[in-house]
Amino acid sequence: MLTERFTAAVDYARIAHAGQLRKGTRIPYIQHLLGVASLVLEHGGDEDQAIAGLLHDVLEDCGEAHAATIGDRFGARVLAIVRGCTDGTAEGKAAVTDPDARRRDWLDRKQAYLAHLTLAADDVLLVSGCDKLHNARAIVGDLERLDVGRSVFDRFTGGRDGTLAYYRQLAGLFTRRGAAMAGALEREVEYMAVLAGEPSRVA
């Protein structure tokens, strides 16, 4: 059963991410956070994991200063999951401004994050996988729209090829680790690749 801690986490996420939107859209960012928390619960997560789903991007998008408050208000386990889902802080990303440097930084961070996930705790794996599944579904939704289509990849530092390669590596990793959402992510990434113009890998 969810308690007032979950409600408090919704409010914390709403305030922390106030004014932030999903890339290339007018959708308030909290839509993604609520979606991730919902997927965590759908795939067997408990309240701490669902709260971490709500807060998983706070350090990355809002700053390291939130870490102490998250630990104090929601506990060490939630903070550990949030840290485990973070591949870079807001401060670190802001320090890289040159486009070529940004792409190198993006690639380095993604490769480091993949390596991290191979050994990450099951708590982290569930929340991270649900985050990636929700993101993949959002990309597929835009690929299906006539007014967006393949231009959706222009929003991402990795572009079309880098984004597809990253999601395929993620899907394979979650499958190898036996994560609860792995099958759904595999299917979504395969469909993403087909919509992006790659031949299907399914016989």
DSSP letters, the chain, are ---HHHHHHHHHHHHHTTT-B-TTS--BTHHHHHHHHHHHHHTT--HHHHHHHHHTTHHHHH-TTHHHHHHHHH-HHHHHHHHHT-SS-HHHHHT--SHHHHHHHHHHHHHHHHHHHTT--HHHHHHHHHHHHHHHHHHHHHHT-TTTGGGGGGGSTTHHHHHHHHHHHHHHHHHHTT-TTHHHHHHHHHHHHHHTTPPPS--
Give 79's strand partners. none
pLDDT range class, residue 44, cuts 50, 70, 90: very high
Quick: pLDDT tens for 47-60.
999 999 999 999 99
Which pair of tokens denotes residue 36?
A: 């991730």
pLDDT range class, residue 198, cuts 50, 70, 90: confident
pLDDT range class, residue 203, cuts 50, 70, 90: very low
Q: What is the pLDDT of residue 161?
A: 96
Q: What is the pLDDT of residue 92?
A: 67
In the chain, what are the domains? 4-195 (1.10.3210.10)
Which pair of tokens denotes residue 146?
A: 């006539």
- Counted residue by residue, the chain has a size of 203
Computed over every residue of the chain, the mean pLDDT equals 94
Average pLDDT over residues 175-196: 98
pLDDT at residue 202 is higher than 60: no
Q: What is the pLDDT of residue 102?
A: 83
pTM of the model: 0.93
Average pLDDT over residues 116-125: 97
| Better-predicted residue by pLDDT, 66 or 203 | 66
